[in-house]
Chain A
Amino acid sequence: MSVFLQQLINGLSIGSIYALMAVGYSLVYSILNFSNFAHGGVIMLGAYIGLYALHLLPNSFLGALVIAAFGAGLIAVVLEKVAYSPLRKRNAPSLYFIISAMGASIFLENLVIATIGPTFKTYPQIFNPVPFTFGNISVSRIDVLMFVIAAISLAILVFIIEKTKVGLAIRACSYSSRGSNLMGVNVNRIIFVIFLLGGMLAGVAGMLFGMKYTVYPQIGVITNKSFIAAVFGGLGSLPGAVVGSLLLGLIETLSSAYIASQYRDLIAFTLLIVVLVIRPSGIMGKITEDKA
């Protein structure tokens, strides 16, 4: 039982990081209807920015987190301007967007390899490494921190989307971007906001992930997990992305505890295909012709 509880907590903490990534990815999907495969690059750069920010401000974890968030948000916005905006103006098919995103992800990953180097980097020890213990269960502080920060970030996002005017416009655009354009919504501005928000969440996710594990240029590969999580929940659905991510985190940690850790990724990818076959629209996805 204590093993189960232990894995449950680990699963929730890693799942919350997946959620931060998957939400950014889902936001872009809900408006632009294409898979932003460059999201992994933004997460990776967020991890690096967080690392350097922490070197600059060794005593201010929150300051570094904010810098990482804004830095990654800025990169996401620049990426949109360079790689997607020209395609949007031409009404290109989504295939071209995906290819462009792929190019961007190769570019970012290898730019970091060429400039910073391919080596693993570790974050300095900021928090007390001694875990909290409750009976047989021990919870590391970083896991708790990951969960709390992820929850706060997502709560802020929900507030923006549900309560503000920009959020209303985002919801309108995800319903029909052409229609909202006709109703006077500045779609270009909404897309800017979307990429900024998604990029900021990616920066937070990258920094937290780097703190728990290490930072390296191929960190973006774990975003494959966030695609899976988003598909689990239903592409383009934000609550779906969160639920799917938590589920994926739980499935992963439980399968590595009870089956075998080397099958963890295999199980995740198999589940992805199974979900796609049985219910392509995911747990909470919209079942519409153009989104499915």
Chain B
Amino acid sequence: MFSWFYIEGILILVGINLMVVLGLSLLTGFTGLFSFGHAGFMAIGAYVSAICTMNYGIPFYVAVLIGGIAAMLASLFIGYFTLNLKGDYFCIATLGFGEAVRLIFDNLQYVGGARGLPGIPLDTNLTNVIVINIIAISAMAFLIKSRHGRNMIAVREEELASQAIGINVFSYKMTALAISALYAGIGGALWAHYLGFIQPLMFQLTKSTEMTIMVIFGGLGSITGSVVGAFVLTFLPELLREFAQWRLVVYGAAVIIIMITRPQGMLGGMEFSIKGIIRFFRRGGSKKAKDTVNAAEKGGAQG
């Protein structure tokens, strides 16, 4: 039905989106901060890495890393000022940040302004996207399982209580934001080197929203969910090409339906693990046992 070239392209896009979604998942799903500015971090990563490879001849991998680090530095700067803001104020601040970054690139003639930056070397391919993603997922899984990851979840659940038991809330929020921006910057850098052309219009608010929806669709607080979300929501639009105009309508409706029926997303809080699979098959030996597992899961989903 589809040629391999086409599928390969989509898989590369999945990998790129997954990088950003993983970072956003740490921020939104695990630490409970909501960002509307991740397209801004992507833009920083994309532009910085593109300039590195084009104008300074820096090797691809190093350039991608520099792009990610540049985004991280920007996040430290913005986080230092805004992370003390509560709830919606932080949201709106990140929204302002994302738009400001886009408008700066829009007016920066050095990188082509609104016309965009063509001629970026096409270094991103399926192999290096997969390798980078495996590293990123493993690193994230280790982080989440560690003491720091649990502290972040504590911050999400009860900020005041975690402060009271001696967790430095601000520094954990900052760490989450920085790592999340690093991932978004790397994602943006990979994107730039996949398309060969970037322009500020590609990093609008809708891009941030798209990424957030992938996180939510997959499930808040689950790395597996992020992977599933990035896969499904990158492939789905491609399969629905013929209904191109209606697909975002379905998207929007789906977000509302998910929020009012299953706000934790498809795999909220659940993780894929080999142990879990063995347990699942052991319990699923008889049909009765399977039914009780299902019932338990349904009960849990409502809680």
A residues contacting B by CB (< 8 A) are 29, 33-35, 82-83, 86-87, 92, 94-96, 98-100, 102-111, 113-114, 221, 224, 227-228, 231, 235, 262-263, 265-266, 269-270, 272-273, 276-277, 280, 292
Contacts and interface: CB of A to CB of B under 8 A. Distances in A.
B127 interface: no
B249 A276 contact: no
Given A266-B103, A269-B96, 12 more contacts: A83-B260, A96-B259, A102-B213, A103-B213, A103-B251, A107-B256, A109-B252, A114-B246, A228-B92, A262-B106, A276-B85, A292-B86
B259 A103 contact: yes
B140 interface: no
Interface string B238-277: 0000000110110111111011100100000000000000
Contact of B34 (A98, A111, A269, A292): A98
Q: Give 6 nearest A-B pairs by CB, closest first.
A: A103-B255, A107-B252, A106-B252, A110-B248, A272-B96, A86-B260
A103 B92 contact: no
Contacts of B142: none
Contact residue range for chain B?
A: 35 or more
B251 A231 contact: no
A108 B91 CA distance: 21
B266 to A, nearest CB: 14
A35 to B, nearest CB: 5
Interface string B195-232: 00000000001000100110010000000000000000
Contact of B245 (A96, A110, A266, A270): A110
17 contacts: A35-B92, A83-B260, A99-B259, A100-B256, A100-B259, A102-B209, A103-B252, A103-B258, A106-B252, A110-B245, A110-B249, A227-B95, A231-B89, A263-B107, A265-B99, A266-B100, A276-B85
A92 B260 CA distance: 9
Contacts of A96: 259, 263
B255 A106 contact: yes
The main secondary structure of chain A at its interface with chain B is helix
Contacts of A107: 249, 251-253, 255-256
The main secondary structure of chain B at its interface with chain A is helix
A108 B268 CA distance: 27
Interface of B: 28, 32, 34, 78, 81-82, 85-89, 91-93, 95-97, 99-100, 103-104, 106-107, 205, 209, 212-213, 216, 245-246, 248-249, 251-256, 258-260, 263
A191 to B, nearest CB: 16
A94 B255 CA distance: 15
B245 A113 contact: yes
